[in-house]
Structure 1
Amino acid sequence: MLNPAIGELIKEYESRYQLVLDVAKRARHISEEAEAEHQIITEKPVSLAIDQIAEAKREEAEHEA
């Protein structure tokens, strides 16, 4: 089970497709960075990407409030 819940993230996007694209792009970037720096990632890049996107959305909401 992913934490944060996907349902919460989808509320911030116009479509699921856009969320999937953003997560995939970020996951690819994380993977490429780790490979370039010869780092070993213990967590899956998609999980890291979802966490980072959720954190960014939380920070945006805090700044708006």
Structure 2
Amino acid sequence: MAMHKPSLDKLMQRVDSRYSLVVITAKRARQLTEIALQQDVDKDGEAAGNPVSSALFEVVKGNIKFRRTRQGIK
């Protein structure tokens, strides 16, 4: 049986907050969409599919690194 989506527990082991998870996933999903559009990938291609799911799986695998640039308002 194929895994449809990564669990939140596994995702949270890779990031420091849910906000960070949303931001890095959204940025990576936009990158994947732009790459697919530039390469003119058809629906049967490997890059086809849900870019958000692909981005979440990349987070779980540890392929996406992030660095918090601001600690917050004091």
Could you say which TM-score interval applies, normalised by the shorter chain? 0.7 to 0.9
Q: Please, which runs of 5 or more residues in structure 2 have no aligned partner?
A: 64-74
Of Structure 1 and Structure 2, the greater helix share is in 1
Residue pair 2:25, 2:59 contacting (<8 A) in 1 also: yes
Show the counterpart of 1:30: 32
User: How many pairs align?
Assistant: 57
* Counterpart selection for 1:56 from 53, 56, 62: 62
Residue 13 of structure 2 corresponds to residue 11 of structure 1: yes
1:2 CA drift (Å): 4.7
Question: Which whole-Å deviations, capped at 9, do the CAs of 1:42-63 have from their partners, x for residues lacking one?
Answer: 4110011111111126xxxxxx
Query: In structure 2, the residue corresponding to 1:4 is in which secondary structure?
Result: coil
Stretches (4+) displaced over 2 A: none
User: Which structure has the bigger radius of gyration?
Assistant: 2
TM-score (norm 1): 0.73
> TM-score, normalising length from structure 2?
0.65
Opposite residue 35 of structure 1, the aligned amino acid is: L
